[in-house]
Chain A
Amino acid sequence: MSAHSSSTASPLKGYFAVFFALLVGTGLTVYAATLDLGRFNAAVALGIATVKATLVTLFFMHVWHASEKLTKLVVIAALFFLLLLLGLTMSDYATRLWS
């Protein structure tokens, strides 16, 4: 308990900083969508979304301060299998027309 409360003594500043970063990220992604970046529109949109999701996971969901390493392992494993699903599927569809 004491370890827990001392690590989160006054986390409010951090919470509000993450909150503003998330709002700025939302504004940025809307603005970036109005620019013609060619192929990079999708990459920029997904990049900003990933930064936002990482901030929420690490600081709002307390993974950064998680005392249990197993929790971090579960998070990483889940992302690994998600990337496996998306990566292998898309590498199939992206290369089907190669002759």
Chain B
Amino acid sequence: MPDSTLVGLHHEEEHHPELLHHFADAQQQRDASSLGMWVFLATEIMFFGGLFCAYLVYRRWYFGDFAAASKSINMALGATNTAVLICSSLTVVLTVWAAQTARRTLLIGSLAITMLLGVTFLGIKGIEYKDKFVEHHVPGASFSFENEPIPGHPGQFANPRHAQMFFSLYFVMTGLHALHMIIGLGIFLWLFVMAWKGRFTPEWHTPVEIGGLYWHFVDIVWIYLFPLLYLIDRHP
């Protein structure tokens, strides 16, 4: 009996309760988790990649119309949102660091600020969408894009049907991105609750790392969406 107790104690010392038995150590388990997340992100890259491909094809065909349509989007709001997402990426990286180094206040604080920045992003996005509805730039029966000049071609006007293709891509791409933001906010809310309960330790904080990877990926998608959708031919 005393022997088995000793073995049990020894066992607990060697293995963190979250370490699954088919992994050699915590490091290997962490590597396996982030590898799995990266495989998922690879599928996400192809998911968004199809839309980027459609965008490139139509932008080539309808360049002038796309430039005219792009000019109607609020560049200042888009640039602000880019900055908001970059700030949130910093707070996410601080979150992961706080979990690695067992800094509870920083962990909870940076999770909260990340969510706040995410909500700010969605709010600004909502203002942009509202403007598009008011201007009748939402594809559909009430779409209107008449007499909009093509930048760099005086006297020429954008074809409304071609401009509608730009706005379709704009809404699908930013909409899908916004959906990812909403899912990210859900993940971070869950991380916040887990962190509040003190579940994360320097030995085990895999959800924080995985959630962080997801958030950064969504940021990278926006890094490409911003110049492609907002900044076509902005020069006077």
A residues whose Cβ falls under 8 Å from a Cβ of B: 1, 3-5, 8, 11-12, 15-16, 19, 22-23, 26, 29-30, 33-37, 41-42, 45-46, 48-49, 52-53, 56-57, 60-62, 66-68, 70-71, 74-75, 77-79, 81-82, 85-86, 89-90, 93-94
Contact = CB atoms under 8 A, between A and B. Distances in A.
Interface stretch (B84-92, B160-168, B176-184, B189-197): B84-92
A28 B50 CA distance: 28
Contacts of B56: 86, 89-90
Interface residues of B, number: 56
B136 interface: no
A26 B27 contact: no
Given A5-B100, A85-B50, A29 B231 contact: yes
Interface stretch (B39-47, B116-124, B141-149): B39-47
A82 B49 contact: yes
Nearest to A54: B220
Contacts, number: 139
Nearest to B16: A1
Contact of B235 (A1, A26, A34, A67): A34
B128 interface: no
B35 A85 contact: no
A89 B57 contact: yes
21 contacts: A5-B202, A19-B89, A26-B82, A26-B83, A30-B79, A34-B234, A34-B235, A36-B235, A45-B231, A52-B223, A53-B220, A56-B89, A62-B34, A70-B35, A74-B38, A75-B42, A82-B45, A85-B53, A89-B53, A89-B56, A89-B57
